[in-house]
Amino acid sequence: MTQYLLSVWSYGDTKPYPTEEDAQAAYAATGVFNNQLKESGHWVFAGGLHEPSTATVVDGRGGEVVTTDGPLSEAKEMLGGFWIIEAPDLDAAIALAAEGSKACRGKVEVRPFQSA
Amino acid sequence: MDTAAVERVFREEYGRVVATLMRRFGDLDLAEEMAQEAFVAALDRWPRDGLPPNPGGWLTTTARNRALDRLRRESTREARHLEAAMLADVPDPGSTVSSVVDDRLRLFFTCCHPALSTEAQVALTLRLLGGLTVAEVADAFLVEERAMAQRITRAKRKIRAANIPFRVPPDAELPARLRGVLATVYLVFNEGYLPSSGTEPLREDLCAEAIRLGRILHALMPDEPEVTGLLALMLLTDARRPARVARGVLVPLDRQDRTLWDRALVDEGHDLVRWCLRVGRPGQYQLLAAVNAVHTDAATAGDTQWWQVVALYDQLYAVAPTPVVALNRAVAVAEVDGPAAALALVDPLAGALERYHPFHATRADLLRRLERTEEAVAAYDRALELATNPAERAYLTGQRTELVGTAAGPTAEPSVG
């Protein structure tokens, strides 16, 4: 079994959903998908994030902790949410990512965790 | 037997050895290292004792025993590998391809997994299944050896880290995944038949390597019509190779000396196409092979059954409605309905194919036949701006020169070596 991060990305300067109805439909479909993940035993964790403007960057490497307004990355792509799943191989993870992408209506990146 | 002979056998058997060890131990690096050790052992033994009756089996057994020795030595660290090695053979779930799948077929699907970049797929396939050295793979694509080594290492790392499975996909996914495998092999062939970079007009080594991979695939999946179709397509194309370039200039199909064609390859290709027709499940490669069967069936260019070619492209367009297919269909239409009818089909493709040099070369030829000389010259110029193959550039330059008269000369100086 390998654990994978399925992260959902959208573009920062556009709203992830064109209308409120679209957003509600996506949330509902994502909820259904989450329940399927739990029932099938693939679920480890999942969560949706507030928009990047709510982020704070903390740098504790020096003597003094430096706190600044985030996000860290200036990139156009923004992380909107993620799942952590457990799957037997990449093909299984891709199949789940495809369902997740359809449910939340966003592109999903599949990335393996280093095994513990 | 000398070193070169051992090397030949090793290269021939490399894919089998690596694939078998990959299934046993689940580790491509280990599989490759142990294959290499088996090769060194063969270099020592075979010149002295002669070739064993089953060289592939000898290499596989030797490599496997070396791997087991190593894992036992490092058993605590590599306990997980040893465990994997002791597992009984597990059949591929949900696949009806065969109950006893050749490990090389699994390796094809792993190397050509869509999660890997096209470059990585090609490199891994040539290295692991073709048995080419990293230097040879680098040379095939005119890439620095170190960069190629890095590309292969990174791809193998992704296979391990992301846990890309080593298996034949289940039936539901098989057609799409098989297309990826076939596309990789065909890409190697095309790079050999019409190199996009470098100074060689043809790369016979790459054509031969692609055909070898195509033959392996065909042996592994004899009932898949598209696999047969791809092999037929490559054979019927490669059969014309001896007539394709003369004195550094590309010779178009209608001007080729057909006595130079390789009859054995033509016959083999025709047999495969006939098999596909009997099965009756056409696909892209089979239809392209059938087009080439029509061409290689004609004793002279004038005997070509162009209406058959048009009909085949109609079928192809139905399954693969791409602008390139539309362009090639138009070339056949020109022979049946004349260049004006063809040009009417070609012109609307300008938006999609603006940067595709065969589009401009085709337009140039049609305009030339319609005696619209000025436009034809402009189209040849555009084709020459985009074409990179030296033999093709020499041909286009010749056509253009013929059109404007030798005095004017080409505006774009070709780099004919």
pLDDT at B87: 53
Chain A residue whose CA is closest to B113: A91
pLDDT tops 60 at residue B95: no
* Listed ranges B5-14, B79-88, B99-108; the one with the highest mean pLDDT: B5-14
DSSP A59: E
Under an 8 A CB cutoff, do A90 and B173 touch? no
Instruction: Give contacts of A2 with chain B, Cβ < 8 Å.
Output: 162-163
pLDDT digits (tens, 9 = 90+) for B32-61: 999 999 999 999 999 999 999 999 999 999
The predicted model gives B127-137 an average pLDDT of 92
pLDDT at B313: 98
pLDDT at A10: 82
Q: Write down the mean pLDDT value for chain B.
A: 90
pLDDT at B416: 46
Percent of chain B with pLDDT over 70: 91
pLDDT at B196: 80
- B132, amino acid identity: L
pLDDT at B27: 92
* Closest approach of A106 to chain B, Cα-based (Å): 18
Under an 8 A CB cutoff, do B162 and A91 touch? no
From the candidate CATH numbers 3.40.720.10, 3.40.50.300, 3.40.50.20, 3.30.70.1060, the one assigned to the domain spanning A2-112: 3.30.70.1060
The predicted model gives B370-377 an average pLDDT of 95
d(CA B345, CA B22): 50
pLDDT at B79: 61
d(CA B236, CA B270): 8
The predicted model gives B128-137 an average pLDDT of 92
Under an 8 A CB cutoff, do B162 and A90 touch? yes
pLDDT tops 90 at residue B98: no
pLDDT tops 90 at residue B358: yes
Per-residue confidence at B409, pLDDT binned at 50, 70, 90?
A: very low
Per-residue confidence at B88, pLDDT binned at 50, 70, 90?
A: very low
- B283, amino acid identity: G
Q: Which residues pair with A58 in a beta bridge?
A: A67
Q: Which residues pair with B299 in a beta bridge?
A: none
pLDDT at B83: 60
Instruction: Give contacts of B106 with chain A, Cβ < 8 Å.
Output: none
The predicted model gives B380-400 an average pLDDT of 95
Among A85-94, A101-110, B73-82, B239-248, name the one with the lowest average pLDDT. B73-82
Chain B residue whose CA is closest to A109: B115
Phi, psi of B144 (to 5 degrees): -55, 140
DSSP B407: T
pLDDT tops 80 at residue B84: no
Test the B interface: residue of A3, A91, A111 with most B CBs within 10 Å = A91
pLDDT at B406: 44
Instruction: Give contacts of B164 with chain A, Cβ < 8 Å.
Output: 89-91
pLDDT tops 70 at residue B96: no
pLDDT digits (tens, 9 = 90+) for B272-301: 999 999 999 999 999 999 999 999 999 999
Residue with more model confidence, A37 or A52:
A37
pLDDT at B407: 39
State pTM to two decimals.
Answer: 0.87
Q: Which two tokens stand for residue B247?
A: 């004195």
pLDDT at B82: 58
| DSSP states of B17-81 | HHHHHHHHHS-HHHHHHHHHHHHHHHHHHHHHH---SSHHHHHHHHHHHHHHHHHHHTTTTTHHH
Test the A interface: residue of B92, B116, B163 with most A CBs within 10 Å = B163
pLDDT digits (tens, 9 = 90+) for A48-58: 998 888 899 99
The predicted model gives B150-179 an average pLDDT of 94
Instruction: Give contacts of A4 with chain B, Cβ < 8 Å.
Output: 162
pLDDT tops 80 at residue B78: no
Under an 8 A CB cutoff, do B164 and A112 touch? no
Under an 8 A CB cutoff, do B161 and A112 touch? yes
For residue A112, give the nearest of B163, B165, B173 by CB distance.
Answer: B163
Under an 8 A CB cutoff, do B163 and A94 touch? no
In this prediction the ipTM stands at 0.89
Under an 8 A CB cutoff, do B163 and A89 touch? yes
Q: In 10 A of CB B334, how many CB atoms?
A: 22
Under an 8 A CB cutoff, do A2 and B165 touch? no
Residue among B271, B180, B168 nearest B221 (CA): B168
pLDDT digits (tens, 9 = 90+) for A56-73: 999 999 989 999 998 888
pLDDT tops 70 at residue B93: no
* Closest approach of B169 to chain A, Cα-based (Å): 9
Instruction: Give contacts of A94 with chain B, Cβ < 8 Å.
Output: 115
pLDDT at B97: 47
Per-residue confidence at A78, pLDDT binned at 50, 70, 90?
A: confident
Q: In 10 A of CB A71, how many CB atoms?
A: 16
The predicted model gives B207-234 an average pLDDT of 96
pLDDT tops 80 at residue B367: yes
Q: Which residue has the tokens 């000398």?
A: B2
Instruction: Map B310-331 to HEC letters.
Output: HHHHHHHHHHCCCHHHHHHHHH
Strands A66-69 and A56-59 come out as antiparallel
Per-residue confidence at B197, pLDDT binned at 50, 70, 90?
A: confident
Per-residue confidence at A18, pLDDT binned at 50, 70, 90?
A: confident
The predicted model gives B292-317 an average pLDDT of 96
